Each structure stands twice: as C-alpha cells, then as structure tokens.
Structure 1
Amino acid sequence: MSGAAGARRSPRTDLTHDNDIKKGQPPVGRAALFGLCPQCGAQTLFAGLAKFAPRCRVCGLDFESYNVGDGPAAFLTMIIGALIVVAAILVDFAFEPPFWVHVILWVPITAAAVVYGLRIAKAALLASEHQRQAAEGRRADDEPHD
C-alpha cells in the first residue's frame, strides 16, 4: 500500500491533552502570542520581528531543527489583505476621506498586521510541533531492520 492508507501512525505523534503538558511548557496559544520557548517558557523564541533565534538562551532548545518554513505567509497575507480591503471600503463609504488618508491609515496597519500575524502563526506552528514531537514521516520499508 502507498499513501495515507499504507502509512503507519507513529506513537510519537499522539496529540497531548492540556493536562499532559510537561511542567514549564506553555500552552501553544500563550507561546505564540508572547514568543515563548515551547520547552521552558522563556521569552527567547524570536531574534527579530519574525525571525526565530537559533536556540533558546535559557534551556538550549534548538529552534532551527523545526521545519516551520514560510507556509503561513501567503495565507495570512490573503486573509489580512481581504480584511483591510473591506475595512478601507467601509471607511471610504462612511467618511469619504481623501486618498492620502487611506495611504497614511492602511499601509502601516497592513504591514503591522502581516508582520505580527506571521510572528504569531510561526510561533504557534513551532510550539505545536514541539509539543506533539512532530517529525518527518517515514514509510514502513524505510525503517531500519534489526
């Protein structure tokens, strides 16, 4: 068999319940909002606005070993773009401001929403991968035989 039907579920990928989270590990939501290390809870996840630090300065967890990538970027940009367009149209119909007011208002709001949305989404993915011990999938015939 191949594909999902032939895949074997790894015992490492069982989802944890809130009461199973080890002491010191913040919940995914809190880790995402505040940039907390998913292992020790220290605020060391980011080295820049949306760039992960190489490792946690407190517990030494290697953040580069997680494969978060830029997956959330396009998704967030589309959602935030749609929300900003709707808001701009509503403001235009309600107040009819000049064009320069739209530029002054919506460009910084859009930039901030995308950057901080990306920061939260990437942190949530990394924290989720850590808590669920996510790893690359393997086929049964790729496993080493003793």
Structure 2
Amino acid sequence: MASDNPETREGQPGLAEAALLGLCPRCGERSLFDGWLAFAGKCNACGLDLSRFNVGDGPAALVTLAVGAITVGLAIWLQLSIEPPWWVHVLLWVPLTLALVIGGLRTTKAFLLASEYRNDAREAGTKDL
C-alpha cells in the first residue's frame, strides 16, 4: 500500500489516466466510482477515503456548456447542409448529448478528484491535523 503523502508518486496513475479510466489516485485501481457518476466512499484496494474530496458543481457547469455548444453547432451545421427531417436530429443529438454529458462528467469529476489528491488540496480555513 502506498503512502498517503501525495509526494510519493510510485504506483500512482497520471491525472489523465486516472480521469479517463476512473482510477484511484493513490493506488491506481479501478475503484473511484460506485455507479455511473457517484464516487465510492473509499477505495476498495488501498482504503483511501474518497468522501473527503469535494469536486463541487464545477464539472457539471463546464461539461453542460461545452457539450451544449458542440451539439448545437453540429445540429445547425447539419440542418443548413442537408436539411434532414426532424426525426434525424432527434435520433442523432439526443443519444449523443446524453453520452457526451455522462462521459464528460465522469471524466472531469475524476480529473478534479485526482488533482485534489495530487495537490493535497483542502477546504479554505482548515488546518492539518
């Protein structure tokens, strides 16, 4: 089991790897999520308390705005290019938007949690115990 000190990097995944695969930032096991978007309470492999990390609502706002801009831009481009029937838009954009939002939220939440762990981030005003 690796040390709880973020300075000990041996065996720890990189930020991008942890974010894309949902890896524990300490030990690298795929135990970060308990479901599609909810973090597990703790890592099953190394026991890292994941509940102490707070990624907040930042990922939701960022992903929603980015996916919305991309989806609307592509939908407008498709409409102006080939003018498909309305049901083509529904078949394309509803599943694509859902997949991009869920995948994007999962990735950004994992990235922020791994960043918090790596940088030993804490709530403002709290002191080390």
How far 1:41 sits from its partner (Å)? Answer: 0.2
Structure 2, unaligned runs of 5 or more: 1-5
Asked if the contact 1:35/1:45 (under 8 Å) is kept, the reply is yes
Question: Secondary structure of 1:111's match?
Answer: helix
Percent of aligned positions that are identical: 51
Alignment of 1:103 onto 2:122: no
Asked if the contact 1:24/1:41 (under 8 Å) is kept, the reply is yes
Asked if the contact 1:21/1:131 (under 8 Å) is kept, the reply is no
* Whole-angstrom CA distance in 1 between matches of 2:12 and 2:87: 47
- AA aligned to 1:34 is L
How far 1:70 sits from its partner (Å)? Answer: 2.2
Task: Report the equivalent of 2:47.
Answer: 60
In structure 2, the CA distance between the partners of 1:21 and 1:113, relative to structure 1 (3 Å rule), is: farther
After superposition, give the CA deviation of every residue in 1:18-53 in whole Å (9 maximum; x if it has no partner).
Answer: xx6511111111100000000000011011111111
Task: Report the equivalent of 2:3.
Answer: none
* Whole-angstrom CA distance in 2 between matches of 1:74 and 1:133: 24
Alignment of 1:33 onto 2:45: no
* Whole-angstrom CA distance in 1 between matches of 2:123 and 2:80: 50
Alignment of 1:131 onto 2:124: no
- What is the TM-score of this pair, normalised by structure 2? 0.89
Asked if the contact 1:37/1:44 (under 8 Å) is kept, the reply is yes
In structure 2, the CA distance between the partners of 1:27 and 1:21, relative to structure 1 (3 Å rule), is: farther
* The structure with more radius of gyration: 1
* Whole-angstrom CA distance in 2 between matches of 1:94 and 1:70: 36
Task: Report the equivalent of 1:85.
Answer: 72
How far 1:135 sits from its partner (Å)? Answer: 0.9
* Whole-angstrom CA distance in 1 between matches of 2:59 and 2:10: 29
Question: Secondary structure of 2:79's match?
Answer: helix
- Pick aligned residue for 2:59 from 55, 69, 72: 72
Q: CA RMSD in A?
A: 1.6
Aligned length: 122
Structure 1, unaligned runs of 5 or more: 1-15
